[in-house]
Structure 1
């Protein structure tokens, strides 16, 4: 039997029907482009997942056909908006049963981003995955490789990347306005961490909530109401990535992109550290990067979160302006760029840039850009080839907070901390039995 005329949908139907074509399922061949309307599924049905669903389905060329949601108490709204949508509790069942899919969004807690995304890639599905792309550096590296090998369309959910102010920062830095950048200070006032111990209690699992499925790849543990689900998982070591992971992929995105950063060579945490169960508060993490065409011989990038902010001498560079709750300050050989988060960048000193021709880029719709790229029209702006290395950089900072006041030397090619062997056990995680995924 000739396999040449068989497209991805017919191949997956054959597999579902009991035929095995692993060369098709696992090969690097690009999935056939859908004709007009994408058949789409969402992993997650409420919160950020519902926001992603709304934004993606704003396209007339995308049809939501299925959602996977471990908490059936949180599906009413998506069912009211999309009455025909099929609901699954187990993401694996959705992927096995829905053989006509073209694309998915993965909008779950951080610890399930990589396993679900990788399973989708194995099936040749185009993937929109929320930030941070993964919870570990190893997962980010593997998803980047798998997406490239499979030739799928990918996008990470850092929608600010497509906003005009983000583009203006990148264009201004890359246009050379402030010269070679030697130092960047970035911060977020969010506080996704916790100093309190884990409560010593066990609560009943609510009816309709699959606690085992929510744990997914993480080790088994008792359910504690409000401690993990639905929102506080971001604070917990096994499920989220703290403030840094939550906001670093947004705020450091223009830093990473405009300066064309590669992997850092060293990272050091000088702020709060995690306890046994939760990420720390008030992080201060300093990276050292090698030279790029946009930087001095070395670049230092310092991240602050919670109540921590850049030192007074750095804040003084923006004059009498109020420091925003989130943002960055770039210090170059020819000036300073102050970039409040989602606000117009400011060039300083003001008199030097009075006649500067400021870029005025147009906005893109980050979500519809993905939909159109899946249909063969254009490309995404944050494919995993970009989002993976960005995520690795951020997660290395999260890792560093586990080892305060220690400078960690990083070998990116080997994915290893070379001067502290103990740190390497956090580069990769072990998946719980029954939730193992090929390639991770």
Structure 2
């Protein structure tokens, strides 16, 4: 029987993440890797498929959390939802504002200063530093909002799903490709309502662009360019500097990541620049901008990925990447390439035309379209001078958070649920893997491997410190 050890092997089969400076060597702080197969091994796919076909088997007791079966309940549409928010500053503060109409039962943050400030705004909420403790103790929750650094997304999400809770999680959905597959299938099996925090998906302009691309206004699309001028990059690791301030529980902030001494700057913002916690500009902004062609063209997962840029690092995320994703033809789209650029690789001109600082360029056989968050331009301008778009058919959003909350009450379906945002996240993160490897990768989505490339396959997943694992299988069907 395919059991918990095998599940860990799938999600955690990668090599231990390279510890940064000042690694603590006590046994309790080492990376755990129960049941891990040899580097890059394919595991027994027949047993995997048989097991996942029967049940996802989340083994909720593995985290000491008993399912409350909230997903099966009919929630009174007239009562506020009981919600918890994990991470209450920065994006967490915006998410608090997005759900403040509900009953905020519990708030969690590793930074006591942020937590106390949020507690003043919501005095009825119980305050926690450790979301694992919160999820064990809070038994009347309907859902959880997760606004942590990326490396906590999957550990927090899987524990919430095991408790039967609905989940709103910030982008990127997870820190690794395997985690995205795992929590997508876990959520599907549990029947919980999910939403990834790509708030621009609720914008009116994205909806109009999707309609026009799907209506064939520029014909069959064979190339897409996506670029972001910003650069969440680094060129070296910051130096550890003694003890953490008293308001920050540094061990909890590290969570599943390797144990290192307190390093100023990682908290609260610069963590995105370092591989143990984030995925650079592509991980940060890819889910926003790649979202548009993903939606408009009905993309799923690429078959090959190649990237170039500054020399890769096991420790930090350089800026200035160029990544080409190839998507095979499906019944929704022709064979096409999508190319990503960030930082100083962002182009001033593409396909012979000047482009804005960030955006998406669709290239079709009848024309082109440049789209940004709030506007679009059809090209060549003289050809489309008299163009009038059809009447909108994708309804305006009631709000990204509200979509999720209303769906919990049985009203509608969130457009960035994990069935959609999981493959989007996998795609984005495959670009970071390709850059680390420095060669073209052939991605076998159904097997969750990079064909013939053990190093790349190992980088689809990672290991976790004891007590923080993600105990779920990345299912075989995609």
- The offset of 1:77, in angstroms, is 2.8
Distance 1:67 1:275, change over 3 A: same
- 1:262 aligns with one of 269, 284, 300: 300
* Cα contact 2:348–2:357 (8 A) shared by 1: no
- The offset of 1:97, in angstroms, is 1.1
Residue in 2 that maps onto 1:329: 361
Residue in 1 that maps onto 2:9: none
* Cα contact 1:181–1:294 (8 A) shared by 2: no
- The offset of 1:45, in angstroms, is 1.3
Residue in 1 that maps onto 2:260: 221
> CA–CA distance in 1 between the matches of 2:256 and 2:350?
45
The reply on whether 1:346 has 2:389 as its aligned counterpart is no
* Cα contact 1:272–1:281 (8 A) shared by 2: yes
SS in 1 for 2:360: strand
- 2:433 aligns with one of 364, 388, 399: 399
Counterpart mapping for 1:259-338 below 5 A = 259-296=297-334, 298-310=335-347, 312-314=349-351, 316-317=352-353, 323-338=355-370
Residue in 2 that maps onto 1:420: 453
- The offset of 1:238, in angstroms, is 0.5
Aligned length: 407
> CA–CA distance in 1 between the matches of 2:428 and 2:402?
26
SS in 2 for 1:307: helix
Residue in 2 that maps onto 1:5: none
* Cα contact 1:262–1:290 (8 A) shared by 2: no
Residue in 2 that maps onto 1:8: none
Normalised by the length of structure 2, the TM-score is 0.82
SS in 2 for 1:402: helix
- The offset of 1:373, in angstroms, is 0.8
Residue in 2 that maps onto 1:146: 186
- 1:390 aligns with one of 424, 429, 432: 424
SS in 1 for 2:98: helix
- The offset of 1:26, in angstroms, is 9.0
- The offset of 1:356, in angstroms, is 2.3
Residue in 2 that maps onto 1:7: none
SS in 1 for 2:464: coil
- 1:80 aligns with one of 120, 134, 137: 120
Q: Which runs of 5+ in 1 are unaligned?
A: 1-14
Distance 1:201 1:77, change over 3 A: closer
Once the two structures are overlaid, the 10-residue window that deviates more, 119-128 or 351-360, is 351-360
> CA–CA distance in 2 between the matches of 1:301 and 1:311?
17
> CA–CA distance in 1 between the matches of 2:71 and 2:116?
36
> CA–CA distance in 2 between the matches of 1:73 and 1:411?
45
Normalised by the length of structure 1, the TM-score is 0.88
Counterpart mapping for 1:84-123 below 5 A = 84-123=124-163
> CA–CA distance in 2 between the matches of 1:368 and 1:312?
38
